[in-house]
Structure 1
């Protein structure tokens, strides 16, 4: 389907030639720059970006100039949890594409090669040539979605289902991470689940576990406000607030997890929330913090599994002896594959409850630095807990 054939090319960005974009130039160097508006090429559509949610990887780039082992080499536009409105169509769109100007859409922002072994077996999240928006893994970097307009391959753009509002469609990206992790867990109804970290991914994991029939869903975080929110939403059957303290690594972190406070292991303290002294059928580790990743293994029941969903620690030490002796499967989770249609349908169905309440703060592009600072603190200047901040130009 070509632009000329359907007659719906639209005027690129209403005649504008430049736009605002939130660009990270390095550690603590975030700027709102003027950048060119791209024109859609073959197989692409142009999208007016409505909302982009901030996540932990965005924050890592802002605070450290990198994320894990990936350091910014050139200025990088951040953001990847996005939705918007189709504003123009490029030529030579795929035959199956029925997008038109004005469609409300969500964008799957990992562009894969389609020809490597991982892509051929359907695990394209592991594509060796993957280019992911707002990631510094590949050079040149692929700019993210914190801007007014972008272009993107049409086959990775999904029209929103009926009943799904544009204001929450950006949650389809973190929900895709959760769906991918949950599929790898292969849980039965009635399972007992522990979720470490009550950020957006952790909260959505709780919501999905509860909606899928898990009999126990325990959330753990250092922010009581996030745990209170999870309880108010009915997504948990119990919570545990860990005491704050300095982040420790390696053997020191393992010893801390084993000794805990008041002579009680952290894992045992978490298990005691619902009297689950024998542990959990699955532990979803959603923080990427080394000490939490270690505690996850200790809190798992014999013959169970740990899903490592969070990222941020490039090199770490895990208590593998604990997992080997108890046959606990340690499962890595990296982004997602084949999840977007399901995530969008699930958001639109209402089965997870009123997920719009997760979006606690909204900011304009011009106020992006404030959004990042609020996310860093975990609270805004008025003391309100920040769960999922959204930045956008169309509400």
Structure 2
């Protein structure tokens, strides 16, 4: 087992955000390698929606950046050094291993951590998030030192780019688990609002659990076409943006949207009707309202997307039909299952009898090197590039 003395001093070059859309390449001292940590050479990072919010606004919702921040948390890389106590803790990680980072590091001691719900640990530090100070710097840099406990070895079937996609896939896996395995109908049906990266991965995750009837809704017809052509969706619905002046108007539009989705046909010719599960991946009030009207009695709505902080909902309809409204936050214990799904996805090998869409197709734009990080972030703010091509995922390879 290779080790590095904890007195060694290393530098890591990274892109640091100093204000909105103001990035600067800086070389900073890398943290000393503790006994339970490993040093990773970052090879691939995909750009997340939260990265875009920080980049464009220097904040993410109510979280204000308080010092220069290195973005990026959907990442994979190669182990270049292993702490002296890593093997004693039961890890077999070694120099040269390809790995994916689980970028949230909880306290490990609180009731939530001990019960397995470490994702909502109040002391959790998350790379590229400004929620804690000093900030836990992200992965758009050459090297990071990270606890071995939160590093996952990649199987040979997954390259670094697929490894980076494990993080958002873990979000989807966690959402599916939060939804529960029970269905009130023998036929399992799902609706996904939002055909962006997280919505596509939710569709992938539910398919991996045996749900082959997935309808996806979005305002962007290009995204819907991609979802249908690549096999993430069985049926798609283009949401028509409409203005509403009153709450009654808003709810009326939501009911009409649900009605039109229900009137669509599955590939076998049956009407969709109301679905058993709805994954709301937009964070938009109108989509959550439509989710309630689209979900069958006794079904579940899973809140995945982050958007408008306050919503007005038809709560009586929700309660009278015992629809479960389930929140989610990142993920916990989801990487092993995400790795299984990713392997089946990129190799197009059946998982539980189902052949999954290839998630690597989601990477539509690639950028090589730290100097192109600003371009990668700018691309991630768009839905089309200068040539009119769809933007799904922007990837930085180092």
Secondary structure of the corresponding residue to residue 39 of structure 1:
coil
Aligned partner of 2:220 among 209, 220, 223: 223
1:384 correspondence with 2:375:
no
In 2, the alpha carbon distance for the partners of 1:133 and 1:41 equals 18
Aligned partner of 1:97 among 86, 91, 96: 91
Aligned partner of 1:324 among 303, 314, 319: 319
In 1, the alpha carbon distance for the partners of 2:272 and 2:180 equals 22
Contact 1:17–1:36 (Cα < 8 Å) also in 2: yes
In 2, the alpha carbon distance for the partners of 1:216 and 1:348 equals 22
Uncovered stretches (5+) of structure 2, i.e. residues with no partner: 346-350
The verdict on how the C-alpha distance between 1:120 and 1:291 changes in structure 2, with shifts beyond 3 A counting, is same
Aligned to 2:332: 337
Question: What is the deviation of 1:11?
Answer: 9.9
In 1, the alpha carbon distance for the partners of 2:285 and 2:248 equals 9
The verdict on how the C-alpha distance between 1:287 and 1:102 changes in structure 2, with shifts beyond 3 A counting, is same
Aligned to 2:41: 48
The verdict on how the C-alpha distance between 1:183 and 1:144 changes in structure 2, with shifts beyond 3 A counting, is same
- Residues 166-187 of structure 1: CA deviation (Å, up to 9, x unaligned): 2211111111111111111124
Question: What is the deviation of 1:333?
Answer: 0.6
Question: What is the deviation of 1:259?
Answer: 2.6
Aligned partner of 1:289 among 284, 289, 292: 284
Name which of structure 1's ranges 49-58 and 264-273 shifts more when overlaid on structure 2: 264-273
In 2, the alpha carbon distance for the partners of 1:160 and 1:391 equals 18
Question: What is the deviation of 1:385?
Answer: 0.6
In 2, the alpha carbon distance for the partners of 1:58 and 1:354 equals 24
The verdict on how the C-alpha distance between 1:162 and 1:17 changes in structure 2, with shifts beyond 3 A counting, is closer
Aligned to 1:369: 374
- Residues 254-304 of structure 1: CA deviation (Å, up to 9, x unaligned): 7335236xxx72222222223656411110011122222222222211111
The verdict on how the C-alpha distance between 1:355 and 1:215 changes in structure 2, with shifts beyond 3 A counting, is closer
The verdict on how the C-alpha distance between 1:215 and 1:9 changes in structure 2, with shifts beyond 3 A counting, is closer
Aligned partner of 1:162 among 143, 156, 167: 156
1:272 correspondence with 2:277:
no
Aligned to 1:208: 205
The verdict on how the C-alpha distance between 1:277 and 1:257 changes in structure 2, with shifts beyond 3 A counting, is farther
In 1, the alpha carbon distance for the partners of 2:98 and 2:5 equals 17
Instruction: Report the TM-score, using the length of structure 2 for normalisation.
Output: 0.88
Question: What is the deviation of 1:198?
Answer: 0.9
What is the RMSD of the two structures over their aligned residues, measured on CA atoms? 2.4
The verdict on how the C-alpha distance between 1:301 and 1:30 changes in structure 2, with shifts beyond 3 A counting, is farther
Instruction: Report the TM-score, using the length of structure 1 for normalisation.
Output: 0.89
Question: What is the deviation of 1:215?
Answer: 4.3
Name which of structure 1's ranges 37-46 and 50-59 shifts more when overlaid on structure 2: 37-46
1:135 correspondence with 2:126:
no
- Residues 236-267 of structure 1: CA deviation (Å, up to 9, x unaligned): 11001223467x8xx8577335236xxx7222
Q: How many residues align?
A: 379
Secondary structure of the corresponding residue to residue 206 of structure 1:
helix
Question: What is the deviation of 1:16?
Answer: 9.5
Contact 2:205–2:341 (Cα < 8 Å) also in 1: no
